[in-house]
A and B are shown apart, each in its own frame.
Chain A
Amino acid sequence: MKGIIKKRGLFFFLFMSSGILILAFIVLPLIQLMSAPSFEMMKETIKDKDVLKAIWLSIYTALTASLIAFIFGTPLAYLLARSDFRGKRLVESIIDLPIVIPHPVVGIAILGVVGKNHWFGQLINDLGIRLMGNPAGIITVLTFVGLPFYINAAKEGFENISPRLENVSRSLGASMSGTFFRVTFPLARRSMLTGVLMCTARAISEFGAVVVIAYHPMIAPVLLYERYESYGLKYSQPISVWLVCICLTLFLALRVVTLNRKNEA
C-alpha cells in the first residue's frame, strides 16, 4: 500500500482530503462538546444525585448485560466456531439481527413478549419479576443489543485457535471440559475480553430500546435526553461530557487489549 500512494498526485490529494474531512467530522463536534461546559459546571453536575445515579445505573446495567452475554454467549460462540451444521448461516444471521433492527423496534418487540398480554409476560409476572420500569428490564434490553458484539468477537477468537491444539490435549488425556479450560479458554481470553468491552460499550450507549421498556429509573442517555428536552443544550452538555469520558475509557481499554495482542503475535 505504501508504495502505491507514495506519488503525490491528484489521486493522493483527493483521498487525503476526504480522509481529513472524515476525521474533522468525527472530532469537531466532540471537541466542541468537551470544551463547552466549564469546570465548575462539570463539578456541579457530578454532585447532582440524579446524574450520579443515572451514570451508575448505566454502568452497572451495561456490565451486567455483558456478564450475561459472556456466560450464555460463550458456549454458543464456541459451538459456532467448532462445528459445521446445516442452518449454521441461519443461526449466525439470527445472532446478527439485534445489530440491524432499529433500536426502538427492539424495545417494542421485547415489550410484546414481557407484557401482560403474552404468556411469557404473564409467567414472569406471576413469578414476581418485573421488567417494565425496572433495572432488570434495562438489563434485558441491553443484553439483547449487546449479544452479537460479544458472540462474534468470541467466535472469531475460538476460530483462530487450531483444533489440533485441542486434539493434542485430548490425546494427552484431558477431557473435553479439561481441554476447554486449559487450552481453549486461555488462548481465546483476549478475544473474549475484547468482546465483553465491545458489548459493554454498545450497551452503555443504548437509548432507543431502553426508553421504551424503562423511562424510569433513568440511565444516563435517558436523563441526558430529558435534561435537553426540559432545560436545553447547556444543561445537557456536562452530562454528555461525563458519558463520553466513560465511553472513551472503555474504548481506550479496548485498544490497549488489542494492541497487546499484536505485540504478542
Chain B
Amino acid sequence: MIKINNLSVSLGSFNLYDIDLEIEENSFFVLMGPTGAGKTVLLEAIAGLTPVRSGSIFIGNRDVTKLPPEKHGVSIMYQDNSLFPHLNVMENISYGLKYHKTDKNKSNKRIDGLIEQLGLSSLLNRLPLNLSGGELQRVSLARALAVEPKIVLLDEPLSALDPNFRYELRQMLKDLHKSTGVTFLMVTHDFGEAISLAEKAAIMNGGRIVQTGTIDEIFQKPCCNFAADFVGMRNIFPAEFHGTKAKTGKLQIDMGRTIDDTSGHIAIRPEDIVLSGEKLQSSMRNSFQGKVLSIIDLGFFYEIDIDVNDILFRSLISKGSLYELKIKENSELFISFKASAIHNF
C-alpha cells in the first residue's frame, strides 16, 4: 500500500501541494491530468528522486520519505523508456539484480518468465539502439519488474507508441499486473487505457489532486469542470458484446464491427451524438428515442441529458441547434450516432 500524507514538493517550476493519496496493495491505479500538472513529479517523489518539502510517503508500513531512492523498493518506467544505451537487452533487464539479495535460482526463473511473457527472448543480445518503440518499452517494463518492486511507477508508457503496439502493450500490462501481483501506478492521458486497466484513479491539476475515486465515479461524476473537460468522453456504459452488437441495459447498439471480447465498455463522445425531432433517415446505424432530462448551459454549448430506456446519454449541441430543435425538458427526441463513433475497451 502507498499512503501519501500532505505531500508538498517545490522544484521551482513544478510544485506539488498537499497531496493526499492512498493506493491499495496489488491494485492498478491511474493518475490523469494535463501536461504540467505535476504527475511525473509525484511519481519521482514516490520513488525518492525528488526532495520532499513536507508531508510523508509510506510504502507498505515503512516511512520512506527521507530514504534514498534505492531503498524505496519502487521501480520507475519513463515514457522515453530510458534504457541504458551502452548495455544490451539482457544487461538492461538484469541491471538491478545485484542490489537485491534474492535466491539466484528464483530470480533467474523470474527473469526468464518476464522475458517469455514479454516476448523478448530473441532480442537479448541487442543494444537498445536497434530496437523498435514497442520493444524498448517491453524491455523497460521487464527491467522494472525484474527487481521485484513493491510498486511499479509507469509514466505514460504507452503514449509514444503507435496504436497497434499500444494495444498490445496495454494487454501485456494487464496480464503482468495480474501475474506479478505488483502494485501499478500509471500516468496516462488516455481514458481508454484508464478504464481498461485500472480500478481507481486520481485526477491532478496545477500540482494538486482534484479528484480521487473509482474510474466509474470519475467518469460519471466528475468533481468539477476541469475533471469533466479532462475526461471528455462522458457516455460510458458497461456492455456485453455479441458479434457486431453491443448490449447495454435494454439497448442493442450496432458497432458495425466484430468485437473479440464478450464484455467490456463502450463510450461515445457527447459531440458525436446527433439530436433530431424525427427519426433521421441517414447512414447512422444507431437511432433511439428518448426523453430530455435536463439542459445545462456550458457557455458556447449546451449539454443535453437524455434518458433512453433508463440509460443516460449526454449530448453537446450549439445554442442555435437548441432553438432550432425547440428542445425543452421532458420533450421527446431522437438520438443518433455512427457506429464509428463508438469506442470499445
A3 close to B (CB within 8 Å): no
Q: Is the CB of A183 within 8 A of B69?
A: no
Q: Is the CB of A170 within 8 A of B86?
A: no
Q: What's the least CB distance linking A226 to chain B, in Å?
A: 48
What separation, in Å, do the CA atoms of A167 and B140 have in the docked complex?
Answer: 13
B68 close to A (CB within 8 Å): yes
Partner of B143, one of A167, A172, A176: A172
Query: Which residues on the A side are within 8 Å of B78 (C-beta)?
Result: 164, 167-168
Q: Known: A170-B70, A171-B74. Is A187-B47 also a contact (CB below 8 A)?
A: no
For window 228-278 of B, CB contacts with A under 8 Å fall at none
**A contact residues, total (Cβ < 8 Å):** 18
Q: Known: A164-B82, A186-B86, A187-B85. Is A175-B68 also a contact (CB below 8 A)?
A: yes
Q: Is the CB of B76 within 8 A of A168?
A: yes
Binary contact track A146-178/B, C-beta < 8 Å → 1, others 0: 000000000000000010110111111111101
Q: Is the CB of B96 within 8 A of A174?
A: yes
For window 129-165 of B, CB contacts with A under 8 Å fall at 143-144, 147
Q: Known: A172-B143, A175-B68, A183-B84. Is A167-B96 also a contact (CB below 8 A)?
A: no
Q: Is the CB of B70 within 8 A of A173?
A: yes
Q: Is the CB of A165 within 8 A of B82?
A: yes
Q: Known: A168-B76, A168-B78. Is A173-B84 also a contact (CB below 8 A)?
A: no
Q: What's the least CB distance linking B53 to chain A, in Å?
A: 17
Chain B's closest residue to A161 (CB) is B85
Q: Is the CB of A171 within 8 A of B86?
A: no
Q: What's the least CB distance linking A180 to chain B, in Å?
A: 13
Query: Which residues on the B side are within 8 Å of A173 (C-beta)?
Result: 70, 96, 98-100, 147
For window 71-109 of B, CB contacts with A under 8 Å fall at 72, 74-78, 80, 82, 84-86, 95-96, 98-100
What separation, in Å, do the CA atoms of A186 and B91 have in the docked complex?
Answer: 14
What separation, in Å, do the CA atoms of A176 and B99 have in the docked complex?
Answer: 13
Q: Known: A167-B44, A167-B49. Is A175-B70 also a contact (CB below 8 A)?
A: yes
What separation, in Å, do the CA atoms of A136 and B36 have in the docked complex?
Answer: 54
Q: Is the CB of A171 within 8 A of B70?
A: yes
Residue from A169, A170, A171, A174 having most chain B Cβ neighbours under 10 A: A171
Query: Which residues on the B side are within 8 Å of A182 (C-beta)?
Result: 95
Q: Is the CB of A171 within 8 A of B82?
A: no
Q: Is the CB of B86 within 8 A of A172?
A: no
Partner of A170, one of B49, B77, B80, B98: B49
Q: Known: A164-B80, A175-B68, A183-B84. Is A169-B44 also a contact (CB below 8 A)?
A: no
Query: Which residues on the B side are within 8 Å of A170 (C-beta)?
Result: 47-49, 68-70
Q: Is the CB of B47 within 8 A of A167?
A: yes
Query: Which residues on the B side are within 8 Å of A165 (C-beta)?
Result: 82, 84
Chain A's closest residue to B140 (CB) is A168
**B contact residues, total (Cβ < 8 Å):** 26
Q: Is the CB of B99 within 8 A of A174?
A: yes
What separation, in Å, do the CA atoms of A167 and B84 have in the docked complex?
Answer: 11
Query: Which residues on the A side are within 8 Å of B68 (C-beta)?
Result: 170, 175-176
Q: Is the CB of B69 within 8 A of A167?
A: yes
What separation, in Å, do the CA atoms of A9 and B29 have in the docked complex?
Answer: 65
Query: Which residues on the B side are within 8 Å of A171 (C-beta)?
Result: 47-49, 69-70, 72, 74-76
Q: Is the CB of A187 within 8 A of B99?
A: no
What separation, in Å, do the CA atoms of A7 and B126 have in the docked complex?
Answer: 45
Q: Is the CB of A172 within 8 A of B99?
A: yes
Chain A's closest residue to B75 (CB) is A171
What separation, in Å, do the CA atoms of A28 and B95 have in the docked complex?
Answer: 54
Chain B's closest residue to A163 (CB) is B49
Chain B's closest residue to A186 (CB) is B86
Query: Which residues on the B side are within 8 Å of A174 (C-beta)?
Result: 70, 95-96, 99
What separation, in Å, do the CA atoms of A170 and B49 have in the docked complex?
Answer: 8
Query: Which residues on the A side are within 8 Å of B95 (C-beta)?
Result: 169, 172, 174, 182
What separation, in Å, do the CA atoms of A259 and B35 have in the docked complex?
Answer: 38
Query: Which residues on the A side are within 8 Å of B76 (C-beta)?
Result: 167-168, 171
Q: Is the CB of A168 within 8 A of B82?
A: yes
Query: Which residues on the A side are within 8 Å of B98 (C-beta)?
Result: 173
Q: What's the least CB distance linking B132 to chain A, in Å?
A: 18
Q: Is the CB of B96 within 8 A of A172?
A: yes
Q: What's the least CB distance linking B253 to chain A, in Å?
A: 44
Query: Which residues on the A side are within 8 Å of B144 (C-beta)?
Result: 172
Partner of A172, one of B44, B48, B75, B85: B75
What separation, in Å, do the CA atoms of A169 and B86 have in the docked complex?
Answer: 13
Binary contact track B33-75/A, C-beta < 8 Å → 1, others 0: 0000000000010011100000000000000000011101011
Query: Which residues on the B side are within 8 Å of A164 (C-beta)?
Result: 78, 80, 82
What separation, in Å, do the CA atoms of A169 and B143 have in the docked complex?
Answer: 10
Q: Is the CB of A162 within 8 A of B82?
A: yes
Q: What's the least CB distance linking A61 to chain B, in Å?
A: 33
Q: What's the least CB distance linking A165 to chain B, in Å?
A: 5
Q: Top 5 closest A-B pairs, CB basis? A: A173-B99, A172-B96, A170-B69, A164-B82, A173-B96
A-B contact pairs, 19 of them (CB 8 A): A167-B47, A167-B49, A168-B76, A168-B78, A168-B82, A168-B143, A170-B49, A170-B68, A172-B70, A172-B144, A172-B147, A173-B100, A174-B95, A174-B99, A175-B68, A176-B68, A178-B99, A182-B95, A187-B84
Task: Kindly list 15 other residue pairs between chains A and B, CB separation below 8 angstroms, not including A173-B100, A178-B99.
Answer: A164-B78, A167-B44, A167-B49, A167-B76, A167-B78, A168-B77, A168-B78, A168-B84, A171-B47, A171-B72, A171-B74, A172-B99, A173-B96, A173-B147, A174-B99
